Amino acid sequence: MGKGGIRDGEEEIFPAWARDVDQCLSHYDVSISYGLRSADAEARRKDYGWNELEKHEGPSIFRLVVDQFNDTLVRILLVAAVVSFVLAWIDGDEGGETSITAFVEPIVIFLILIVNAIVGVWQESNAEKALEALKEIQSEHAAVKRDGKMIPSLPAKELVPGDIVELRVGDRVPADMRVLSLISSTVRVEQGSLTGESVAVNKTNHRVETEDSDIQGKECMVFAGTTVVNGSCICLVTQTGMNSEIGKVHSQIHEASQNDEDTPLKKKLNEFGEMLTAIIGVICALVWLINVKYFFTWDYVDGWPQNFKFSFEKCTYYFEIAVALAVAAIPEGLPAVITTCLALGTRKMAQKNALVRKLPSVETLGCTTVICSDKTGTLTTNQMSVAKMVAMGAESGVLRSFKVEGTTYDPKDGKIHDWQSSRMDENLQMIAKIAAVCNDASIMHTGHQYLASGMPTEASLKVLVEKIGTPKGFDRSSLNSSGAVLPCCQYWNEMEQRIATLEFDRTRKSMGVIVKSNTGRNLLLVKGAVENLLERSTHIQLLDGSVVNLDSTSKEEILQALHEMSTVALRCLGFAYKEDLSDFATYDGEHHPAHKLLLDPSNYSSIESDLIFVGLVGLRDPPREEVHKAIEDCRAAGIQVMVITGDNKNTAEAICREIGVFEPEEDISMKSITGRDFMNHADRKAYLRQTGGLLFSRAEPKHKQEIVRLLKEDGEVVAMTGDGVNDAPALKLADIGIAMGIAGTEVAKEASDMVLADDNFSTIVAAVGEGRSIYNNMKAFIRYMISSNIGEVACIFLTAALGIPEGLIPVQLLWVNLVTDGPPATALGFNPPDRDIMKKPPRRSDDSLISAWILFRYLVIGLYVGLATVGVFIIWYTQDSFLGIDLSNDGHTLVTYSQLSNWDQCSSWEGFTVSPFTAGSQKFSFHDNPCDYFQSGKVKAMTLSLSVLVAIEMFNSLNALSEDGSLLIMPPWVNPWLLLAMSISFGLHFLILYIPFLARVFGIVPLSLNEWLLVLAVAFPVILIDEVLKLVGRYMSRTHVSTSKPSKKHKEE
């Protein structure tokens, strides 16, 4: 026995929808009048469990923390931090400032790792909230018959299969149930959140002919989590907990959440990290091999080396250099800059009504290749509106047709074409009267929105009445002054007092109301299916109000108008009335003799006979105005649009043609398919590989999931939109799940990566453009940071290879990588987007982050950075001037390059002396130990190396403005934020140079004006070198384009 209604060993579900009422009662061994016995209910609960959804335990906090270190770059950083901490601990015996400086590096790295872990855990701990939100839509109580008594408020979790439940209007259905009998003449249930249907559906107690029916086809079943909007009925519980349809959705969400994949960017960064690990390993090994001669010393005895001695001090020193290499090679600031750039992207998207819940989604949007969109509420407004009104003409056989604008419940949204309210004739007045009075809906105005209460079709009729207006001669200002949302409807309801209602039923397909007119006589006003009203009509009302016989010509014209509207997927409603009410002519309430006729719905058809037909309207859930252009933008951007809806096929096809998914005359026989037919298709992947738009109608949650899964298997990056409970599993499974903010359920929002504040498809397209721009900017700052890091690696490698003193220490490299490089890298995220960004096809998710040519450029620039930083170190020790810049003012002693490269043998040099030199206000003297000139005395040369590194990286940030565009074409001021960031970075560098305490921590000293001129002279050529490389890149790109053939769409490769 499993929890929530899952019975171990149960092989198949009893198809209650395909069985008669008596068969269902027999199967569940229950009486409709007595219900279950309490003892039986308790026994069944032990078998089926509680009627609730399972609670899946999410990953523990410890597991989440450990997962944060499942990243190559992070692991390298962790090793570097541990090693540097151990070395700092060993060196700590020396005390003083050296000890403090040594610990700065591991502490900063540990802090970076801790912050990264905290952010990651916080994001991932929200992942399972979709399942919690799903539980909130379950009903809490139910009216249940047990032991022959009605229990009005039994906790819904205590329900078991076989319970008899009474449902009333407004109730939330507590379990999946078979309708046994209708108490009212009709029952309508709003199940769109589960099935995607745009209107409430009628329920019946008649069985369905086929056992293999989709959810929409099970008309005698009501499902947990849906809402009764009209009528009341008696039901039999058939499935509870995890066996219910909503339970299946719960399982699918949980299953999808277990299959979360890394985003394209994270995959690329992981690949880059692995490559970096290999490179670091090779370079560290080379550094050790080059310097292994320093680890050992030996004496030659009789020509043979003997008395080997191992120098632990030298071994540790070169081990520190290897750690410095790791610190130099890893762009420590990259995770922080990427997070900052994505956060800035989310702010930009929020301004465009796209609320991003998960930061990596911003980048993933940029490589979206397929958008799977729900129809209802996303491509359409999910607000029924009248699109066409047909009224009677001046004579028999003549009709008048009016086009009606508007897509919302706002009465001021749109107008009626060719309309003159001053000439509102008797026929139009009767249409308005019936639409307003034979209507149970209402509309509320809250904030900037108009919301409907009741049936959407009836709400749209009330909006039509407002657009029609009031009869000529009536002072409408008195109604407007009352503040009513629907003043015209209020007018008609005051004119015609409703005294009885003939509820809608599926047999006659109409609804009628008996009203007492202000003239004192009773009228019957009827609306319903056009064909049914015509069958019961004998007359028509003409334009001037006169009544004539309904002849064959008029009937054919009306049916032709009906056919034309139906072919464009309009739902049609007809209007009729009756003046001669016979038994009801004097009806005034329940005490009237004719009232007993109203108690039996089978009498309604005879009461609604001999009608006078007045007109008809065509309604639809209209497409959003902006969607057509958004679909065109998708096509231009190489993004395929697939529409997946629970609505019927004809309606969906008409909408898809209108919004541009299909061309008006396109043959879509191979591109429009139902969910079930798709699942039975011989080659589903081949079907999905078709170019152009595709439509899947009558789709269930499992169909949506299968479509997303197959697309992802085929290498597509899938964005899935949805608003209902039924969309949640696919939202969770897609690369980008996009939920609706207004109409969306909490379940869909919690399962999504992004929420649309305006429920608008065009917002997705704008977000894709923003995602592409963000990716390009991320490439710019990754290009900048990696080339800088390669330069640092080259610097340390050359230092070790040449045997000169260490020019940059780890804490300086960490400062450059985290603080100095940070602001320019972040500012590159503000680069303006390319004008043609939505005219290019989406990049492939497996495209390399760094191409071979870009890597070659990195290496060239990096090599120059290494040469410049090491070169300026050598220049200070060996030259008194460079390029005409005098460097001798500080009084330092010059040495030969040979002495510099063999500085470790200084103690054996005879007569070696060093003069004191000044740096700022400090004076460095080496009378006691001249060899210290190559250790503590290298502080000025180190400062020059660090300053050259900072200056080169600032100039290099200008190179990163464009991958191949010259600075002459894209000058620095196109991104003023970058100029500001460069100023901040230089300011931070001056801060550590000229504040004594910070200068001691970083082991540097102030520089003179001449020394700054030297720094700039050595740093500036990096711009000239990259300009030449960009020129070569542009030439190669043009050559490649001219010789390559047009490539097919990647999924056809």
Beta carbons of 246 and 194 less than 8 angstroms apart: yes
The Cα-based distances of 114 to 125, 333, 772, 825 in angstroms read 16, 14, 30, 22
**What are the tokens at 521?**
């006589």
Nearest to 688 by CA among 185, 1049, 232, 290: 1049
Q: Please give the Cα distance from 153 to 143 (Å, whole number).
A: 5
**What are the tokens at 391?**
């009224």
Q: Please give the Cα distance from 504 to 508 (Å, whole number).
A: 8
Nearest to 854 by CA among 1040, 1031, 1033, 1044: 1033
Return the bridge partners of 511, or none: 527
Alpha helices of 191-311 — where are they, by DSSP H? 192-195, 245-257, 264-291
For residue 923, which phi and psi values (nearest 5 degrees)? -125, 125
**What are the tokens at 663?**
């061309």
* Residue labelled with tokens 């390029």: 883
- Would you give the DSSP letter of residue 358? S
Residue type, 950: V
Beta carbons of 726 and 245 less than 8 angstroms apart: no
Bridge-based pairing state of the strands 672-674 and 694-697: parallel
Nearest to 223 by CA among 238, 205, 213, 233: 238
Q: Please give the Cα distance from 916 to 925 (Å, whole number).
A: 4
Q: Please give the Cα distance from 885 to 862 (Å, whole number).
A: 25
Angle of helix 96-124 versus helix 72-91 axis, rounded to 10:
150
Nearest to 704 by CA among 682, 725, 689: 725
Q: Please give the Cα distance from 978 to 784 (Å, whole number).
A: 12
Beta carbons of 598 and 503 less than 8 angstroms apart: no
Q: Please give the Cα distance from 387 to 402 (Å, whole number).
A: 9
Considering the candidates 40, 71, 176, 374, report the single residue annotated as catalytic.
374
Task: Return the CA Rg of the chain.
Answer: 39
Q: Please give the Cα distance from 819 to 816 (Å, whole number).
A: 6
Q: Please give the Cα distance from 759 to 782 (Å, whole number).
A: 34
* Residue labelled with tokens 């191409």: 851
**What are the tokens at 135?**
């539980």
Other CB atoms within 10 A of residue 494 CB: 10
Q: Please give the Cα distance from 904 to 568 (Å, whole number).
A: 90
Residues 6+ apart with CB under 8 A from 360: 263, 265, 266, 342
Query: Cα 884 from chain centroid?
Result: 59
Q: Which helix (H) or strand (E) holds 230?
A: strand 227-230
For residue 541, which phi and psi values (nearest 5 degrees)? -100, 130
Looking from the CA of 803 toward its CB, the CA atoms found within 13 Å total 16
**What are the tokens at 639?**
């993004």
Helix, strand counts (H, E) of the chain: 37, 34
Answer yes or no: 928 catalytic. Answer: no
Residue type, 982: M
Q: Give the DSSP letter string of 577-604.
A: EES--GGGTT--STTSTTHHHHT-GGGH
Beta carbons of 972 and 957 less than 8 angstroms apart: no
List active site positions: 374
